[in-house]
């Protein structure tokens, strides 16, 4: 499939992957008790972005429809179609177990970052099994990508960003790089 959904899928992979790498860098720096070197952070962000692009390519995510989770009930229900990313961001705030003051709590912020990194690992596990064992559980991949989206959107809101704002700035940055012919390479200021 080509068109708007396809372009958004690739962009989402780059954004979510970069955020996972940034979350991983944050967690490592918290554990180490000191800031990481900029080249280490860039490597983690770039590596995770590439991993998500790889996931998108291997899984063929443009082939079928997908929808992120949108309910709080544990009862089985048909998935909702979420079309407003900012409403989904508010959903993550409302659903967050830490309560309304979580955005100022370092432990809760760390749980959000660790959740993003952990769910990224779950996505990679599904793809590893496809490559290693020839088994691919598309439904599990869809669920794990929904979990990545949940933590990503929650971190956006925790730091005062609307998810659409983050995606919009990334679209501008990626289009600028494409126009200048600097899509490959490293560093945010290319």
Q: What's the whole-model pTM score?
A: 0.61
Nearest to 27 by CA among 144, 90, 120, 95: 120
- Token representation of residue 120: 């990224």
| Residue 116 belongs to a domain | yes
Question: Does 72 reside within a domain?
Answer: no
Within-domain flag for 190: no
Q: What is the pLDDT along the chain (190 residues), one digit of tens a residue?
A: 344 444 445 556 556 666 666 666 666 666 767 776 665 565 556 566 556 655 555 555 544 444 344 445 555 666 788 889 999 999 999 999 887 677 888 899 999 999 999 999 999 999 999 999 999 999 999 999 999 999 999 999 999 999 999 999 999 999 998 998 888 877 777 7
Residue 70 falls inside a structural domain: no
What's the structural domain count of the chain? 1
Residue 20 belongs to a domain: yes
Residue with tokens 């899984």: 59
In a domain, 44, yes or no: yes
Q: How far is 154 from 112, CA to CA, in rounded Å?
A: 7
Is 75 a member of any domain?
no
- Residue 53: give the domain boundaries: 4-63+83-180
* SS3 track for 70-98: CCCCCCCCCCCCCCCHHHHHHHHHHHCCC
Give the domain CATH number at 174.
1.10.287
Query: b/e per residue, 156-186, with b = 16+ CB within 10 A?
Result: bbbeeeebeebbeebeeebeeeeeeeeeeee
Per-position DSSP letters for the chain, written without gaps between them: --SHHHHHHHHHHHHHHHHHHHHHHHHHHHHHTSPPPHHHHHHHHHHHHHHHHHHHHHHTTTSS---------SS--PPP----HHHHHHHHHHH-TT-TTGGG-HHHHHHHHHHHHHHHHHHHHHHHHHHHHS---HHHHHHHHHHHHHHHHHHHHHTT--HHHHHHHHHHHHHHHHHHT--SSS-TT-
Task: Please check whether residue 87 lies inside any domain of the structure.
Answer: yes
């Amino acid at each position: 499939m080509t068109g708007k959904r396809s372009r958004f899928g690739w962009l989402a992979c780059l954004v979510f992957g970069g955020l996972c790498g940034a979350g991983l860098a944050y967690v490592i720096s918290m554990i180490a008790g000191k800031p990481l070197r900029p080249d280490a952070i860039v490597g983690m962000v770039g590596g995770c972005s590439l991993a998500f692009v790889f996931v998108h390519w291997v899984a063929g995510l443009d082939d079928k429809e997908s929808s992120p989770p949108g309910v709080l009930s544990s009862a089985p229900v048909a998935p909702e179609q979420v079309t407003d990313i900012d409403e989904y961001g508010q959903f993550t705030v409302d659903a967050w177990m830490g309560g309304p003051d979580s955005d100022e709590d370092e432990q809760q912020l760390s749980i959000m970052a660790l959740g993003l990194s952990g769910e990224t690992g779950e996505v990679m596990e599904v793809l590893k099994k496809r490559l290693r064992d020839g088994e691919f559980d598309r439904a599990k991949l869809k669920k794990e990508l929904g979990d990545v989206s949940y933590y990503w959107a929650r971190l956006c809101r925790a730091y005062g960003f609307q998810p659409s704002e983050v995606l919009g700035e990334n679209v501008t940055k990626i289009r600028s790089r494409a126009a200048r012919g600097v899509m490959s390479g490293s560093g945010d200021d290319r």
